[in-house]
Structure 1
Amino acid sequence: MSEGTAAPSAYALAQRQGDRAIRTTLLDAASRLLAAEGSQALALRRIAAEAGCSTTVLYRMFGGKTGLTEALYIEGFERFRERLAAVPPHPDPRDYVRELGRAYRANALAERNYYGLMFGETVPGFQPGEEAMDKAASAYAVLENAVAACAAAGLLIDADPGHVAASFWSGIHGFVSLELGGHLDDAEAVLDAFMRGVSSGFFVDASSPK
């Protein structure tokens, strides 16, 4: 690049890779603005300026602000589901559940710009549509199935597997929310303690009487 020549915009770079890359670039730009400045930043002109494109591109991709917000929600949960699905199965299903908890944390740290919209009310009045809710449910199903596998192997306490999965989800969500908020000085140690608590509270030894 010669001196005085402006660097290509994020949108210009994404154009070389096709619509999927353009969509991702626009969503990432919008999520950064949302996380940094709140819902008032989700103006199409503001996002277009951030990405280096025209508002026409945003209208073509998302139809408007409502469609963009829905797309952000879907993208966040799709990345979340992919992160959980990438956790390799473990011979001991209890270890698999614990690894899913760590993957939850890893995703939240990597995709924190999406996290607030996924689990909070960063856009007042936004209600996810059917496709968005399906994406959220498919992510949660990974954990539900893992807990059900523990129950099937006789490694779960005498409790409804769905309630156990919801309890585990609530616990790891609370931990991550505190970490993202800067309220944990030693997050790794807290996470280890939480996982030990999960082990003693939800799971039984294979040799224990049922």
Structure 2
Amino acid sequence: MSPKPSGTEVKAKLVEAAIRLLSDGGPEALQARKLAAEIGASTMAVYTHFGGMGALVDEVAREGFRRLSANLGEVRETADPAADILTLALAYRRTVVDNPQLYAVTFGQSQPNGQKAALVDMTSKETRESLSDEGIEAFGYLVRAAKRVIDAGRFRPAPEFDVAAQLWSAVHGYITLEVAGHFGDSGNGVDHILIPLATALGVGLGDTYEAATRSARISIEAWRAKEGNIGT
């Protein structure tokens, strides 16, 4: 007889099942009955291990941020910190394109069964410094990258959090629109929208047009050499 799975194992299976259901059927598919069937358990498993669907959705969102952090963590720093910011944006984009339904839940854009994942007010310095939060951890990659560009003199002096938040807002907005289909489905938006956006943001934050353009070209060429053509 196989040993009974631990509570931790069951919770992990439920989260993985939730992510599969989201990917295959969208937020409408995320139901206690379907989750239980996915892991061969009763519907009580959701309530026993999470107390309800709300806590399960929160854990799915945390897993989304963990996966985003893992992908951002694969981006290696180079001698060009401005190029590294675009490379982080491309890694962010790839993460969302690979599973848009998961990230709609992660960022509170989707509410399965009316349940919206709990979000953190990142404008509060006290909150950012007092919480151990998966979203703050993921955002930290962009904060550190912004600091490197400021320290290198490419961006004018400014709080790195503020700079990172502006960059995040722009990149996330672009990705949201692309995933929704507004820029086609072949990745053309990267060349026509994202790269010019990154260049314009760099110039707006203090970089020269020539330097920003050069960094964007370095990043996209290195990304394509490693990852191949960009597409959905």
**1:1-210 map, 5 Å:** 23-34=11-22, 36-38=25-27, 40-123=28-111, 124=114, 126=116, 128=118, 134-185=133-184, 186-189=188-191, 190-204=193-207
Distance in 2 between residues matched to 1:26 and 1:177, nearest whole Å: 27
Amino acid paired to 1:62: F
Change (3 A) 1:115 1:204: same
Paired with 1:21 and 1:82, the residues of 2 have a C-alpha distance of 21
Residue ranges of structure 1 left out of the alignment (5+ in a row) = 1-14
Task: Check conservation: 2:154, 2:206, Cα contact below 8 A.
Answer: yes
Deviant stretches of 4+, over 4 Å: 17-25, 129-133
After superposition, the Cα gap between the structure-2 partners of 1:126 and 1:113, relative to the gap in structure 1 and judged at 3 Å, is closer
Summarize deviations over 1:97-135 as a string: whole Å, max 9, x none: 111111110111123221111223422353527799711
Q: Which amino acid aligns with 2:15?
A: L
RMSD: 3.3
**Identical counterparts, % of pairs:** 29
SS of the residue 1:87 aligns to? coil
Q: C-alpha displacement at 1:164, in angstroms?
A: 1.9
TM-score w.r.t. the length of structure 2 is: 0.69
User: How far apart are residue 149 of structure 1 and its match?
Assistant: 1.5
Considering only CA atoms, is the larger Rg found in Structure 1 or Structure 2?
Answer: 1
Q: 1:4 maps to what in 2? A: none
Partners in 1 of 2:202 and 2:48 — Cα distance? 49
Q: Deviations over 1:44-82 (max 9, x none)?
A: 112122344433544454333122111111101111111
Structure 2, unaligned runs of 5 or more: 121-129, 212-232
Q: TM-score with structure 1 length normalisation?
A: 0.75
Conservation of the 8 A alpha-carbon contact between 1:70 and 1:132: no
